[in-house]
Structure 1
């Protein structure tokens, strides 16, 4: 029988994950089916039980479920435990095993783009589930400063406490960023999906600085517009990260890591 996989989230209609995993399956001669399933937060627990009962072999998890799904796992990996967020579920006899490939996906894409973290001043915008998955790998890359900023001051402070055993995070509100300059700004806010950007101080992008958005497609447009008004010349969306984290999930499920360059090129062209 064909093995079944899916991505769950809300909204989900924009997801490129089915196309990515179909391409991976073809390239690696794997027999599988991969779907996108819209799941409301209040339906998460029952949906996971049903998908397990239906025999799905694995799931990708996207917003807004990455943090909530942790409590639905029988076991979670060390990096998922550190993040407090899960984006990859693998079937076990008793339930689901949770992992997080977001940080790995980001770091691989930053390397592909030539964006350097070591010794650089790095700003992460946002403090949700997507941020939790990337902070560990970012800290491991040894930036000179890592700032997490959010409109709510308590969320960045909680993250700084959560990750203090791994490295130093400076919490900031958006307004408190005034006067700062950063070599790399990573947008992990979800507001782009509603076509908006919060008000941020001018001058945050250092000379020659790079900007990276975890979002892609229409959700990337507000951040791109903001970076252009700030004079940034190196701007990237998160499509490459999506492909790289998907490849890491595929490897967990199927035991083979697919090549990503051709898939990313096809998505850009299509």
Structure 2
């Protein structure tokens, strides 16, 4: 039986075991998938110990250990390099050679491809579109390259500290990225607005939602999800934006990308999103 896990602190709230067991059932894979609470400062040792098991194939990594995962793995994935964060680890040998431990593990960041795939699944056209990305933290960094690779026309990063947004843009090396201070977003005319901040979890808007900002906006996307539409989604819809989406589909799609890395099999994500939506709305 193939062994997988998700590491985090906290970790009890993670839906990853539920998601991956659904994938495994679809794809006729016998797996175990556990939640592992790692102490701060103790993630690398725990992850290496887990991956050293003969049946261990890989693991997912959530906050606050994505940078640690990046540092412990060989990383060729551009999204992970942009973010300096890894959410998926895969063992490429038996993982037991401590002197060469890093070469035994590959690291990936599947958040960005998860976002892009969820947008495409919801019939959102990305090619030649102007995208506003709110926030410049790890969640934002991980989606930049996949968005650019989806042939968008322009990416604008808005952040409370404009200098941080500029640093993120510079580090990616992409030419078609602009940056603005958060208070200046009304000057942007995006087709798609993506909120990568956690503002909605506190019931707050990530930016001022002016009519000028939303004038040409077709869809807003909130990376977080709740059991009802977030305040960001509700405000956009109230001002006439045709479509609003939360991050549940992104959660499932990033997990599916990890599952494919580990097994070379592609699960049906739509069925899993539907089931999770039911579970969350009834919780």
**Shared fold (TM-score, shorter chain, > 0.5):** yes
Alignment of 1:1-270 (within 5 A): 2-54=1-53, 56-73=56-73, 75-79=74-78, 80-92=80-92, 93=95, 94=101, 95-164=104-173, 166-203=174-211, 204-217=213-226, 221-270=230-279
- Give the Cα–Cα distance (whole angstroms) in 1 for the partners of residues 17 and 228 of structure 2: 18
Residue by residue over 1:22-47, the C-alpha shift from the partner in whole angstroms, topping out at 9 and shown as x without a partner, is 10111111111112233454333333
**2:200–2:231 Cα contact (<8 Å) kept:** yes
1:59-81 residue CA offsets vs partner (Å, 9 max, x unmatched): 112233333421121x1123223
Report deviation, 1:208: 5.0
How far has the Cα of 1:219 moved from its partner?
9.4
In structure 2, list runs of 5 or more residues that go unmatched.
Answer: 96-100
Match of 2:98 in 1: none
SS of residue in 1 equivalent to 2:259: helix
Shift of 1:105: 1.5
Deviations 1:100-149 (A, max 9, x none): 22222111111111112222221011112222221011112232321111
Greater Cα offset, 110-119 or 227-236: 227-236
Quote the Cα distance in structure 2 between the aligned partners of 1:189 and 1:41: 23
- After superposition, the Cα gap between the structure-2 partners of 1:16 and 1:43, relative to the gap in structure 1 and judged at 3 Å, is same
Structure-1-length-normalised TM-score: 0.88
Give the stretch that moved more between structures: 237-246 or 18-27. 237-246
Secondary structure of 1:67 counterpart:
helix
Mapped to 1, the partners of 2:48 and 2:15 lie a distance apart of 25
In 2: Cα distance, 1:219 partner to 1:259 partner: 24
Over aligned residues, Cα RMSD in angstroms?
A: 2.3
TM-score (norm: length of structure 2): 0.84
Distance 1:71 1:134 in 2: 19
Query: Could you tell me how far apart the structure 2 residues matched to 1:106 and 1:190 are?
Result: 16
**Alpha-carbon distance in 1 for matches of 2:115, 2:31:** 25
- On the 8 A contact 1:210/1:232 being kept in 2, the answer is yes
Q: Distance in 2 between matches of 1:151 and 1:25?
A: 41
For residues 72 and 226 of structure 1, the distance between their equivalents in structure 2, rounded to whole angstroms, comes to 41
Residues 89, 96 of structure 1: 8 Å contact kept: yes
* Equivalent pairs, count: 267
Per the TM alignment, residue 194 of structure 1 is displaced from its structure 2 partner at its CA by 4.0
Q: Is the 8 A contact 1:109 1:240 kept in 2?
A: yes
- Separation in 2, partners of 1:150, 1:136: 18
